[in-house]
Amino acid sequence: MTEQSMKRKRILTLISAVCVQLCVGIIYIWSIFRVPVMEYFGWDSTQASLTFSIMLPLNMLGVLVGGILCDRRGIRPVVLTGAAFAVSGLYLTSLVSSANAALLYVFYAGLCGFGGGLVYASAIASVNQWWTRHKGFAVGLTIGAYGCSTVVFGAWVNRMLSSHLGVQGTFRTLSLIFLLVFAASVWMLRNAPDGVGLARSEAPDQAVVGQKQYTPQKVLATPVYYLLVICLVCLTAPYLMLNTTMKSFAVARGLTAEMAVVTVMTTGIASAAGRIISAWMTDKTSVQTVLIMLFCLALTATGVLFYASGIWFIAAIALVAFAYGGCAAITPLLAISFFGTKYMSSIMGLLIISAIIAGMAHPAIAAKISVDGLPSATTFIVMESIVLGGLILFQILILTQNRTRNR
């Protein structure tokens, strides 16, 4: 394969990964579907909220399973399976009526959520193999596209739901769009042949040359893995504890209802920026340094939020979202840094368990310590304590790792 041909395929792989990530990131626009679905099916708030509560863990499970299968079976069969699940899930959802509304949990939350996780894992695995150099930029762009889905689809889906299409027509239209995007893109997502990840003029990252390659079984046997999971859970605490009440909290801090909506949109943009910029920064410095910076950013922004109002509130909540997005972006790069490249897809899936734990634990904690449904002083003390604990733990982990390597 010539260098020019290799460069073209690498670029096409990245473009394809970005396109499919924009689609499967639709999981995060459920808040737009929520009210129209409640009205269409006659659901109450609890029934509607259950959809996302089912979809998010199944999506993370899809990432975990997808990562393992990419290492064992190859990328292409996994991404094809995930695409088929996502498209069929959306289309079958469009056929659900109020008489069998519970099937929404099966088709949208189940098939679409799990399938999206398979596609997510496959896209990152493919980009990781083809982009050996500038890996942080490529992976960051791929994961950033996932976060940008709310920006790309949000307003458009809202208009479709309000039009003659309604709930069923919107799901059917999305299934057609996904089918077209996947049909054009998934064929470029596959394993790179040995040695193709590098152009002849490029040199491998010296940080990983000669690095020990951990199998998933060995990863699960080392304390480092569990400490990393705890650190990632700690870093996401502020965003996940504030996310469910963000709009109401913004109004309580003096913003108008319109500006509160702008604040929510700003967090989506900030999260996407965090995914792209944080991963890109790992091309310039170590992933450990970037993670420490994200911890410090989250710690500072959470402290400012305790008193902030107006524009300072918007800025601080955006920085919290930036740190959250950055955490998601560097998770695959942490897998490589600590455990090697050979089984990156599987190990990334194992680290994604932190997102499942955080997604269930932090909102539950926030609900217990809130006052009148809004964050309290205790909420901020707990968030700051969790983030600070994670930062200290990660610093100890790095010092321990450095001492071990220097022996």
Residue 76 has pLDDT above 60, yes or no: yes
pLDDT band of 346, cuts 50, 70, 90: confident
Same domain, 184 and 225: no
Mean pLDDT of the chain: 84
Residue 29: inside a domain, yes or no? Answer: yes
Output 232 or 276, whichever has higher pLDDT. Answer: 232
CATH number of the domain residue 356 falls in? 1.20.1250.20
Under the banding of pLDDT at 50, 70 and 90, the label for residue 195 is: low
Chain Cα centroid distance, residue 334: 14
Backbone torsions φ then ψ of 387, nearest 5 degrees: -65, -45
Higher pLDDT, 4 or 20: 20
| Residue 196 within a domain | no
Q: What per-residue confidence (pLDDT) applies to 1?
A: 58
Instruction: Kindly state whether residue 204 falls inside one of the protein's structural domains.
Output: no
Instruction: Say yes or no: 252 and 372 in one domain.
Output: yes
Same domain (yes/no): 141, 226:
no
Q: How high is the pLDDT of residue 205?
A: 44
pLDDT higher than 60, residue 197: no
Do 138 and 226 lie in one domain? The reply is no
Q: Who has greater pLDDT, 280 or 402?
A: 280
pLDDT in tens, 121-144: 899 888 888 887 777 778 778 887
Mean pLDDT to the nearest integer, 334-363 = 84
Question: Which range (73-77, 147-151, 248-252, 287-291) has the least confidence?
Answer: 147-151
The yes-or-no verdict on residue 35 having pLDDT over 80 is no
Choose among 187, 186, 182: nearest CA to 91. 182
For residues 102 and 155, membership in a common domain is answered with yes
Pair (144, 221) in one structural domain: no
Q: What is the pTM of this model?
A: 0.75
Least Cα distance to 324 among 116, 156, 118, 146 occurs for 146
**How high is the pLDDT of residue 289?**
93
For residue 90, the model assigns a pLDDT of 92
Q: Decide if 164 contacts 175 (C-beta within 8 A).
A: no
Percent of the chain scored above 70 by pLDDT? 93
Residue 360 lies in a domain: yes
Range of the domain at 260: 216-405
How many Å separate Cα 220 from the centre of its chain? 22
Q: Does a structural domain hold residue 201?
A: no
Structurally, the chain folds into a number of domains equal to 2
Q: How far is CA 95 from the centre of its chain?
A: 29
- Tell me how far CA of residue 46 lies from CA of 42, 51, 186, 327, 377, in angstroms: 12, 9, 36, 29, 27
Whether residues 379 and 267 fall in one domain: yes
pLDDT of residue 145: 83
Residue 198 belongs to some domain of the structure: no
- Please classify residue 373 by burial: count the beta carbons closer than 10 Å to its beta carbon, then call 0-12 exposed, 13-18 middle and 19+ buried: exposed
Does residue 141 sit in the same domain as residue 233?
no
Q: With respect to residue 194, please indicate whether it lies within any of the assigned structural domains.
A: no
Of 52, 26, 21, which is closest to residue 157 (Cα–Cα)? 26
Task: Confirm whether 203 is domain-assigned.
Answer: no
Residue 282 — very low, low, confident or very high, per pLDDT cuts 50/70/90?
A: confident
pLDDT class for 331, splitting at 50, 70, 90? confident
* Longest CA pairwise span in the chain (Å): 69
Looking at residue 389, what is its pLDDT?
Answer: 96
Report pLDDT for 20: 92
Over range 400-405, report the average pLDDT: 72
| C-alpha distances in Å from residue 326, one per residue of 102, 127, 135, 161, 294 | 35, 18, 15, 31, 7
pLDDT of residue 405: 62
Please tell me the predicted confidence (pLDDT) of residue 25.
83
254 and 399 belong to one structural domain:
yes
At 238 the pLDDT is: 93
pLDDT confidence band for 112 (50 / 70 / 90):
very high
Cβ neighbours for 11, distance < 8 A, ≥ 6 positions apart? none
Q: What is the pLDDT of residues 153-175, one digit of tens each?
A: 777 888 888 888 888 899 999 99
pLDDT at 407: 57
Last residue of a domain, one of 173, 188, 203: 188
| Same domain assignment for residues 236 and 181 | no
* Banded pLDDT at 71 (limits 50, 70, 90): confident
> What is the rounded distance in angstroms from the CA atom of residue 298 to the CA atom of residue 394?
14
